[in-house]
Structure 1
Amino acid sequence: MSSISPRGPNSEIAHHHHQISYSAHFENSLHHILEYPPRSSRDGITIIPNTSSQQPQQGVSIREKDVDARNLPHITLQQLPLSVHDPRRIFASPVPGIRLTHPGGWLEGGEGPSGEEQRAWTREFVEANNISGEQELGMAVQHHMQQNVELAKERMRARYEAQQQNARVEKEIKTLMDQREMEVKIETRMKEDARIRRENREHKRKVPAV
């Protein structure tokens, strides 16, 4: 969800992202993952910045410049959100348990904002938080991401509680409707029995004595 993205829910960068259709199945899956994250901290291929001295590991990580855009899946807005189990999700995301289809892509799937948009967000974030170094930037982004994850968890919990409340109300309504249906059947049966008894009495009065 955009609220988990470091860009936050109010960013103009995410304008087209907000056009993604609502999916209860995806929301439920996301809620479960946020509430019960996987034990393993490694989930998906991580992207190593070109300036990093870290060495890529086969099947575990890849340097940013080595990602071939031609091998990345083409995903349209109409296909989103993708199932969290979609096999095209192979890259690590900030949320343990959810993989991305593209490096830096959206949690719902797709390539996400362009490099220029990400750089614009970085400049805004640095200025807004008075950040002076790369290490400080990394820590600030991590903190901001964690805040957004917690906000998403709260929203998911509220949604889940609302669903449970709606389910309870629907169950109560069904119970009342079933009860009323039974009452109507009993009333109908009683009226029918009364009609039959009345007709029997009238029939006896009309039968001449022998």
Structure 2
Amino acid sequence: MWLRAAFVAATAVIGGVKLGRSVMNRAVKNKVNQAIEIAKVSAIDDLSRETTGVVWQRVQRVTISLCWKTSIVAGLFALHAAGDLTGRGFKTIVIVVTLAFALRDAWLFAPLLWRGVMLVRSHKWRPTEALKEFIAGIVFERAYEKAIEATSEPGTRHAIALSSFKKENLSEEIARAVSEVAKAASIRIIRMRALLGAAVILIFMGAYSTFIFLSLSRAHL
């Protein structure tokens, strides 16, 4: 009789533990889903903001560089107009300076270009896929770190401990879901801002090239 009573009691305890764990599993899963939705929005906002910042920074650098180059050529033209520099000398110096600027720009841009080529090569020469994977990797690392921090909070940590989940697995699930969303949206976000930045840069480069052409054509031999 006592053996049966003990068995019934043990079954009730085990059933209660299983029921409690099932409840905690659902609670933790709901928290994870909420965290994923919040993190998705945050990741897209961060990607959009950082992309805008990088493009704007690049536009500023190119614009400042072109302004300096234009100032140098304008100074040389002023010397020529004042009679302190012959037309032939002006043209020779402008050509040399322009080539020097081009070589300098190529030298500074070469490492970035090389890394891009290696990245695309590692993805079988598919630049779109390479860019998506690159963005997804960055977003995954950030989301994973944030998820680890979030799941280390006392209340969340206790809930996970009472469930059948592990903190690392939940954090990886959150990070992977967020990175997939960023991967899908990355091309759309980057393309729009990159095209706008490229358009602005091309306008300034066109103005600079026009200025160089007019300066050379108006120089008197």
Question: Comparing both structures, which one devotes a greater share of its residues to strand?
Answer: 1
Q: Same fold (TM over 0.5)?
A: no
Question: Which TM-score applies when normalising by structure 2?
Answer: 0.30
Question: Comparing both structures, which one devotes a greater share of its residues to helix?
Answer: 2
Per chain length, whose mean CA-contact separation is higher, i.e. which structure has more relative contact order (CA < 8 Å, sep 6+)?
2
Question: Which TM-score applies when normalising by structure 1?
Answer: 0.31
